[in-house]
Amino acid sequence: MILNTVSLLNYKNFESQTFEFDPKINCFVGANGIGKTNVLDAIHHLAFGKSYFNPVALQNIKHNEDFFVIEGNFTKNDRQEKIVVSLKRGQKKIIKRNGKLYEKFSEHIGLIPLVIISPADRDLISDGSDVRRKFIDNVISQNDKQYLSALINYNKILSQRNALLKYFALNNTFNAQTLSIYNEQLELYGEEIYEKRDAFLQEFIPIFSKQYNAISAGKEQVSLQYKSDLSEEKLTQLLENNLQKDKALQYTSIGIHKDDLVFKIEDFPIKKFGSQGQQKSYLIALKLAQFNFMKKQSGVAPILLLDDIFDKLDEHRVAKLIALVDQEQFGQIFISDTHAERTEDVVKQIHQSYKIFIL
């Protein structure tokens, strides 16, 4: 998977700009706030139809402009792919592949395999379980359309069940038969999602452990565990057991939408007991494991975006990371950094062709 060119029009701080890329390594260097991360985010937009950093789509339009357009030209398995993402104020976002409009954005997911490593990943450690579920869903969905479809259906039925619980409370009524229909549908999709998440993590966790050991040189032991209500009981039984609680709360309090990943270092929560360097190493290992898993599943090396990753890593960990990247399994890499000399020193160690963009 190679990104040949990107053109930006009214995207974030860019008025009009085109970049032609090296097939191996591309570096964006410059002061903070100059737009390095925005270029990486534009590439993420082309892969997923949305920003990695700003969920409010309209805020990605340049100030005082009415629209943005991102155009990317890719080569995948010797075939050219032209992707255009555009948004105009007051209208829906549009994604086109080779001039053809997608009816559903979900149809696009997986076409452009991509992994991003960024300081924003710290949310995976610091924030709630929804961020960690999104990580699992993102990895699986890029290679499994059926999983993505089940997830969309589950969330739709979950919203309907929650609306029904609110209706019961507001009208001081209850209908067990209607509720059971939603319970059965949640069971149908929930069990499929649980089984696929469980199977994915059984394969993913050993890959992650290997990546962390490589970065840290085996200095500390880390673990990654999958936590789900469905590991104990069937979802319909869980929903029945929690009925009174759900009626009181007016929403569904149990199910795969409450799944979580538990991150530990030396058997303690990494959020409380891991240093900044250890936490960053943990997150990088997670994302490199994602890269390896996706490549194994699809046979295509994902595009790798490394956003400001050299900060808060000591020289030893940077060297280990570079040794990991300096392997044939990696395809095209995009790096952003504030220090031009540091970046060039690093990329020279990777022994691949490279291009540096000074912004």
Model's pTM, two decimal places?
A: 0.89
Widest CA span in the chain: 70
Other residues' Cβ atoms within 10 Å of the Cβ of residue 282:
25
- In the Cβ-directed half-sphere of 358, how many Cα atoms lie within 13 Å? 4
Q: Where in the chain is the domain with CATH 3.40.50.300?
A: 1-113+300-359
Q: Where in the chain is the domain with CATH 1.20.1050.90?
A: 125-299
For the chain, where are the alpha helices, taking DSSP H only? 36-48, 123-126, 129-141, 145-171, 176-216, 235-241, 243-249, 270-273, 276-298, 315-325, 340-348
Nearest C-alpha neighbor of 239 from the set 198, 162, 187: 187
**CA geometry: angle 131, 135, 139, nearest 5 deg:** 165
- CATH for 125-299, among 1.20.1050.90, 3.40.50.300, 3.40.50.620, 3.90.1170.50? 1.20.1050.90
What is the pLDDT tens value at each position of the chain, 359 positions in all?
Answer: 999 999 999 999 999 999 999 998 899 998 888 889 999 999 999 999 999 998 899 999 999 999 999 999 999 989 999 999 999 999 999 999 999 999 888 899 999 999 999 888 999 999 999 999 999 999 999 889 999 999 999 999 999 999 999 999 999 999 999 999 999 999 999 999 999 999 999 999 999 999 999 888 788 899 999 999 999 899 999 999 999 999 999 999 999 999 999 999 999 999 999 998 889 889 989 999 999 999 998 888 899 999 987 776 666 667 677 767 766 678 899 999 888 888 888 788 777 888 999 88
